[in-house]
C-alpha cells in the first residue's frame, strides 16, 4: 500500500493540513496491517486502501470550493488526530475510561428506552440498558464493518444530484465512484472503517420504546469514526434518539459519522439527532436516507455544541407518496461554526417534504445553512417546502444561507424561504413595558424562536424533555449583557 500512496502526489496544502492527512493515512495503514492476515477482512482492507487513495487525490476542500466557502477547515488542522484507542480483548470501554452510571445522568430521558451506549465509538454493555426489550423483530449488530456495510461510494452517490432530471433507478448510467472533495469525510470514514452498527426492524413491527444511541467521547485528540445503518422493513415503525457528547470539557475530539437509513414501503422512522460536543470538538456527519413508497422520515437535528460542525443529510424520496420532514435547531455561540445542509431529492410522484431550520447565533458564532430541493421529471405533484430562519443576537454573529430549488417536473408546488435578523426592538420594549427585564425578554423571545421546530415531535415526554433541557441551557444565554454593551 505504501507503493500506491506514492502514485498520487498530494495537492498543494498548508503543512498542518498535510500533517493531518498523513496522520489519517497512517491510522488507516495501521488498521490494514492489523487485518493483513485475516482473510475475512481482505475486502475491507481493499476498500480502505481505495478510500485513502481517493483522499490523496482530492486533498482537503478549501474556501474556493463552492460547498466549503463558508465552512473552512482550518480549525481542524490545528491538531493532529489519531483514531480513538480501543480496549484490548473484551474489556468494557466504560471500565477502561473509569466511567460509572453517574456519567449518564444528564443524557437519560424520563422514559424507558433501549439504550445503546458507546464510549469513544466502542459499545459498552455495562452502561447500556433496556436490552431485554430487544426481541426477534429487532436486530442490533455490531460487527466488522465490511460484513455489514456493503454500500459503496457509488451507492451513496445515488442520493445526490438531479443532473439530467432522471435519477436513481430511472437513470441509465451508474453513478460515478470518482473521488470528490465534497465527499472528503466519506473518504475518511471509509479509510478508517473498522466496526459498524446495523439496526434492522422486521416488517410490520412497531417498536414501542424509542432506541437511544448515546455516543460518549472521552479521549483527547481522538477521531471517533462511526458508521451506522438503519433498515426498516415494510410498515415497520421506530424512533431513535442519537446523542453525541464529550465527558471531558477540555478534551478535543473529532466525531466523523456516516449514517444510512433505508425505509421500505410504508415504514416510519423518526430521529432526534442531538449533539452537545464540547467547545473544542469537531463533528462531521453525513446521513443518507432512502425512502420507498409511502414511507415517512422525520428528523430533528439539535446542534448545540462543537467548535466546528457540519451535518449533511441526503434524503431520497424514491417511491410515490413518501414523506420527509427535516428540522434543524442550532444554537451557535462563542467561536462556534455550525453548518447544516440538506439535499432532498424528489424522485417519485406525490411525495411531500417539509423543512424548518432555525439558528440562533450569538457572540462571534457563524451559522451556515445550505438546502437544496431537487425534483426529477417523474416527480409530478411534488409538494416541497423549506424554511430557514435565523436570529442574530450580536453584531459579530454571522449567518450564511443558501436555499436552492432544481425542478425538472412541471406540476409541482415547491417553495423556499429564508430570513435572518435581530430581535425586533419593539418586542423587547413591549415586554419591558410589562415589567419584564431586558435580558429575560430576550431569553423568552429567543427561546420561543429556537424551540419552534420541536413542536412536531409526536412523543410527548421526549418533546417535553428536550424542551426543558433547552430552556435550562438558554437561561444562561451567557454573554448577553456583554453583547448589549458591545451594541451600545
Cβ closer to another protein: 112 or 424? 424
Tell me: does residue 472 bind another protein (CB under 8 A).
no
HSE value, Cβ hemisphere, 13 Å, CA-based, for 455: 11
**Region from 102-110, 282-290, 368-376, 440-448 binding another protein, contact rule CB under 8 A:** 440-448
Of the two residues 64 and 434, which places its CB atom closer to another protein in the complex?
434
Name the minimum Å distance from CB 395 to another protein.
Answer: 16
Instruction: Specify whether the CB–CB gap between 375 and 406 falls below 8 A.
Output: yes
Mark 11-37 as b/e (b = at least 16 C-beta within 10 Å): eeeeeebbebbebbbebbbebbeebee
Interatomic CA distance for residues 120 and 441, integer angstroms: 40
Q: Of the listed pieces 40-48, 254-262, 376-384, 424-432, which binds another protein according to CB under 8 A?
A: 424-432
Stretch binding another protein (CB under 8 A), from 4-12, 169-177, 340-348, 448-456? 448-456
Report the alpha-carbon distance of residue 322 to residue 266 in Å, rounded.
8
Which of 102, 250, 433, 458: binder of another protein (CB under 8 A)?
433
* Binding region for another protein (CB under 8 A) out of 49-57, 255-263, 334-342, 437-445: 437-445
Would you count residue 487 as binding another protein (CB under 8 A)? no
Q: Is 182 in the site for another protein (CB under 8 A)?
A: no
Sign of CA dihedral 415, 365, 275, 67: positive
Q: Judged by CB, which is closer to another protein: 173, or 488?
A: 488
Residue 432 as a binder of another protein (CB under 8 A): the answer is yes
The answer to whether 430 contacts another protein (rule: CB under 8 A) is yes
**Count of Cβ atoms closer than 10 Å to residue 3 Cβ:** 6
Q: Give the residue, chosen from 3, 102, 173, 434, that forms a contact with another protein under the rule CB under 8 A.
A: 434
Of 115 and 300, which CB lies nearer to another protein in the complex structure? Answer: 300
Identify the CA nearest to 86 among candidates 96, 77, 76.
Answer: 96
474 counts as binding another protein under rule CB under 8 A: no
The answer to whether 451 contacts another protein (rule: CB under 8 A) is yes
Residues β-bridged to residue 290: 262, 316
> Between 311 and 447, whose beta carbon lies closer to another protein?
447
Least distance in Å: CB of 486 to another protein? 16
Binding mask 72-111 for another protein (x = CB under 8 A): ----------------------------------------
| Separation CA 188–CA 83 (nearest Å) | 11
- CB nearer to another protein: give 251 or 445: 445
Query: The cell 488498521 sits on which residue?
Result: 31
The reply to whether 431 sits near another protein by the rule CB under 8 A is yes
Does 417 sit near another protein (CB under 8 A)?
no
| 405 near another protein, rule: CB under 8 A | no
Compute the least distance from the CB of residue 450 to another protein, in Å. 9
If one asks whether residue 440 binds another protein (CB under 8 A), the answer comes out as yes
Q: Does 435 bind another protein (CB under 8 A)?
A: yes
Toward another protein, which CB reaches closer, 30 or 475? 475
Rounded Cα gap, residues 354 and 31, in angstroms:
42
CB-CB contact of 464 with 243 (8 Å): no
Binding status of residue 436 toward another protein by CB under 8 A = yes
The only residue of 76, 452, 456, 464 in contact with another protein, by rule CB under 8 A? 452
CB of 385 to another protein, least distance (A): 18
Q: Kindly state the number of chain residues that form the binding site for another protein, as judged by CB under 8 A.
A: 21
Q: What is the dihedral of CA 449, 451, 456, 458, to 10 degrees?
A: -160
Q: Does 437 bind another protein (CB under 8 A)?
A: yes
Cα 442 from Cα 450, distance rounded (Å):
12
Nearer Cβ to another protein, position 404 or 487? 487
What does the binding site for another protein look like in residue numbers (CB under 8 A)?
424, 426-427, 429-438, 440, 444-445, 447-449, 451-452
Amino acid at each position: 500500500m505504501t507503493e500506491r500512496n506514492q502514485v498520487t502526489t498530494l495537492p498543494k496544502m498548508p503543512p498542518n493540513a498535510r500533517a493531518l492527512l498523513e496522520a489519517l493515512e497512517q491510522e488507516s495503514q495501521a488498521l490494514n496491517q492489523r487485518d493483513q492476515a485475516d482473510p475475512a477482512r481482505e475486502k475491507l482492507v481493499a476498500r480502505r486502501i481505495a478510500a485513502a487513495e481517493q483522499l490523496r487525490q482530492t486533498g482537503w476542500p478549501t474556501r474556493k470550493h463552492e460547498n466549503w466557502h463558508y465552512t473552512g477547515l482550518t480549525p481542524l488542522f490545528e491538531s493532529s488526530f489519531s483514531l480513538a484507542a480501543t480496549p484490548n480483548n473484551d474489556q468494557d470501554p466504560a471500565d477502561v475510561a473509569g466511567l460509572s452510571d453517574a456519567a449518564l445522568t444528564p443524557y437519560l430521558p424520563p422514559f424507558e428506552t433501549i439504550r445503546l451506549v458507546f464510549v469513544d465509538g466502542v459499545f459498552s454493555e455495562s452502561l447500556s440498558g433496556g436490552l431485554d426489550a430487544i426481541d426477534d423483530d429487532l436486530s442490533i449488530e455490531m460487527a466488522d464493518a465490511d460484513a455489514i456495510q456493503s454500500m459503496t461510494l457509488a451507492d451513496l452517490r445515488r442520493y445526490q444530484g438531479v443532473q439530467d432530471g432522471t435519477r436513481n433507478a430511472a437513470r441509465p448510467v451508474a453513478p460515478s465512484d470518482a473521488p470528490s472533495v465534497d465527499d472528503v469525510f466519506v473518504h475518511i470514514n471509509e479509510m478508517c472503517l473498522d466496526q459498524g452498527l446495523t439496526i434492522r426492524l422486521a416488517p410490520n413491527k412497531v417498536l414501542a420504546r424509542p432506541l437511544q444511541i448515546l455516543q460518549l467521547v472521552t479521549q483527547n485528540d481522538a477521531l471517533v469514526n462511526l458508521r451506522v445503518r438503519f433498515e426498516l422493513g415494510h410498515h415497520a415503525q421506530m424512533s431513535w434518539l442519537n446523542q453525541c457528547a464529550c465527558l471531558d470539557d477540555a478534551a478535543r475530539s473529532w466525531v466523523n459519522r456516516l449514517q444510512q437509513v433505508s425505509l421500505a414501503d410504508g415504514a416510519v422512522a423518526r430521529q432526534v439527532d442531538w449533539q452537545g460536543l464540547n467547545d473544542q470538538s469537531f463533528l462531521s456527519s453525513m446521513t443518507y436516507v432512502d425512502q420507498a413508497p409511502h414511507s415517512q422520515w422525520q428528523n430533528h437535528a439539535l446542534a448545540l455544541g462543537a467548535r466546528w460542525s457540519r451535518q449533511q443529510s441526503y434524503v431520497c424520496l424514491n417511491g410515490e407518496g413518501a414523506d420527509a420532514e427535516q428540522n434543524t435547531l442550532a444554537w451557535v455561540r462563542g467561536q462556534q461554526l455550525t453548518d447544516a445542509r440538506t439535499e432532498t431529492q424528489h424522485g417519485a410522484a406525490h411525495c411531500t417534504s417539509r423543512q424548518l431550520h432555525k439558528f440562533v447565533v450569538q457572540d462571534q458564532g457563524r451559522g451556515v445553512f445550505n438546502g437544496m430541493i431537487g425534483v426529477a421529471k417523474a416527480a409530478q405533484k411534488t409538494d416541497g417546502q423549506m424554511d430557514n430562519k435565523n436570529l442574530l443576537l450580536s453584531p459579530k454573529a454571522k449567518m450564511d444561507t443558501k436555499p436552492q430549488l432544481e425542478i425538472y417536473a412541471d406540476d409541482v408546488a415547491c417553495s423556499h424561504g429564508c430570513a435572518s435578523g435581530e430581535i425586533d426592538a419593539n418586542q423587547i420594549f413591549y415586554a419591558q413595558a410589562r415589567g419584564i427585564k431586558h435580558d429575560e425578554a430576550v431569553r423568552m423571545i429567543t427561546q420561543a424562536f429556537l424551540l419552534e421546530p420541536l413542536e412536531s415531535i409526536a412523543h410527548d415526554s421526549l418533546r417535553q424533555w428536550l424542551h426543558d433541557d433547552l430552556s435550562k441551557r438558554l437561561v444562561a444565554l451567557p454573554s448577553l449583557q456583554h453583547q448589549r454593551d458591545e451594541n451600545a
